[in-house]
Amino acid sequence: MTRVAGLLLAAGAGRRFGRPKALVEHAGRLFVERAVDVLRAGGCDPVVVVLGAAAAEVRRHARLGDARVVVNPDWASGMGSSLRAGLAVLADEDAAAVVVLPVDMPGVTAAAVRRVAGHAAADALAAATYGGVRGHPVLLGRAHWAGVRAMTHGDVGAREYLRSREVRPVPCDEVASGADVDRPGDLPSG
């Protein structure tokens, strides 16, 4: 079986939300805890969590189990630096691919992670789709990690890299929601 790592991007300050989204509690759990569990339940091993804003507070309050926590000192520059930091940590792992998930997507389920991870190979690129639109989680085969790291900047993650490549669409409409949470009003009910 192909080993797939999980990479949770949870470093942002959540300016539009009013606080770091890693610390947002919804349905009795912190976003960061829920997302780690979704990646694990989706078959990812290891799971790496990239923190930044309020990293010490997240470490104090979140139950992350055996997830490997990395603090991105450049978190304020945007998601690109967190993606680079996480991929750098995974370079020493023997995973063929990584499933990337931003912390602010509480509608993503383990079933969606499993579907996307099911396309893992060193040269693979895959992404969940919702209503035919590409979203998260995204799978990056190891052969693409250096290229992704080279093209990420500011608040741009792998988008530019993926734009010019063939990315396998993985429909996840019936098992997950691809909506992100930018403001408190975006929180799903429940």
Structural domains in the chain, CATH included, are 4-177 (3.90.550.10)
Residue 81 pLDDT? 92
Q: Give the DSSP H or E segment for 117.
A: helix 110-117
Burial class (CB in 10 A: 0-12, 13-18, 19+), 183: exposed
Q: Does residue 1 surpass a pLDDT of 80?
A: no
Do residues 162 and 125 touch, judged by C-beta distance below 8 A? yes
Gap between the Cα atoms of 56 and 37, Å rounded: 20
Helix (H, G, I), strand (E, B) or coil at 84: helix
Cα(152)–Cα(74) distance, integer angstroms: 13
Tens of pLDDT, residue by residue over 44-78, are 999 999 999 999 999 999 999 999 999 999 999 98
What is the per-residue pLDDT across 124-150, written as a single tens digit (0 to 9) for each? 999 999 999 999 999 999 999 999 998
